Amino acid sequence: GQQVMQIPQYQHVQEGEDFTTYCNSSTTLSNIQWYKQRPGGHPVFLIQLVKSGEVKKQKRLTFQFGEAKKNSSLHITATQTTDVGTYFCAGHGTASKLTFGTGTRLQVTL
Amino acid sequence: EAGVAQSPRYKIIEKRQSVAFWCNPISGHATLYWYQQILGQGPKLLIQFQNNGVVDDSQLPKDRFSAERLKGVDSTLKIQPAKLEDSAVYLCASSSVRKPFNAFFGQGTRLTVV
């Protein structure tokens, strides 16, 4: 079945440092979505990318969708303590099934 | 607009007992998902409905889990009998059939099986 892996599993940075998480799917995706889950909370939608090679920015966050539509990345510039949480990618593969990645937990300290 | 409603928020049961979770999606959302999230892991899709039809239930342990979405609105997820490894947060989500198809999640039900 479709599998979506993310690396790293966990990253601890100091405030102001950059952060990147990578997402890889075993199958081609029709789109890739990114979610953020705060500790004790539920996943909250951040953005969706649809086109091959697409890049989108949201303030300090940059999202990329790979050319083969099987991988994606999220880069945060100059992290802040408010960025703490777990970041999940999720994609629609065959049969419109929405599969979530394994997640990357980000910890930011002053 | 009102969000996805789930109940109960917390449930503690003994193994071999049964339990049911309820979800009311955002009004007008045709797609409804049930995910199981074990602590420290990503949400695992148990079942996905489009209206009242099943799109995918390949990861639903059908010997003990069942779900229904009568009338294409509310949904219930049942576990019978529960096992210790079923301890997790059960998340319900819904999405529109219009772009961007993103899922809106409820607060989840935290199940502890002892």
Interface test with A, best of B57, B101, B109, B110 (most A CBs within 10 A): B101
Name the region of B71 (left: φ>0; alpha: ψ -120 to 50; beta: rest): left
Is B56 in Cβ contact with A95 (below 8 Å)?
Answer: yes
Interface test with A, best of B102, B107, B110 (most A CBs within 10 A): B102
pLDDT tens per residue across span B28-66: 999 999 999 999 999 999 999 999 899 999 999 999 999
* CB contacts, 8 Å: A88 with chain B: 42-43
**Per-residue confidence band for B70, with pLDDT thresholds at 50, 70 and 90:** confident
For chain A, what percent of residues have pLDDT higher than 90?
A: 93
**A1 touching chain B per CB within 8 A:** yes
Mean pLDDT across the stretch B95-102? 86
pLDDT at B63: 97
pLDDT tens per residue across span A63-106: 999 999 999 999 999 999 999 999 999 999 876 889 999 999 99
- Judging by DSSP bridges, how do beta strands B109-113 and B10-13 pair with one another? parallel
Cβ pair A26, A3 in contact under 8 A: yes
Name the region of B108 (left: φ>0; alpha: ψ -120 to 50; beta: rest): left
Token pair in block for residue A18? 């950059």
**Per-residue confidence band for B97, with pLDDT thresholds at 50, 70 and 90:** confident
**A96 touching chain B per CB within 8 A:** yes
Cβ pair B72, B28 in contact under 8 A: no
**A102 touching chain B per CB within 8 A:** yes
Which residue, among A35, A96, A54, A89, has the nearest Cα to B33 in the 3D structure?
Answer: A96
* CB contacts, 8 Å: A102 with chain B: 41-42
pLDDT at B100: 79
pLDDT at B1: 62
Q: Rounded mean pLDDT of chain A?
A: 95
For chain A, what percent of residues have pLDDT higher than 70?
A: 98
* CB contacts, 8 Å: A92 with chain B: 101
Residue A1 has pLDDT above 90, yes or no: no
pLDDT at A22: 98
Is B103 in Cβ contact with A90 (below 8 Å)?
Answer: yes
**A44 touching chain B per CB within 8 A:** yes
Residue A21 has pLDDT above 80, yes or no: yes
Residue A26 has pLDDT above 90, yes or no: yes
Alpha-carbon distance values, B47 to A76, B50, B90 (Å): 32, 10, 11
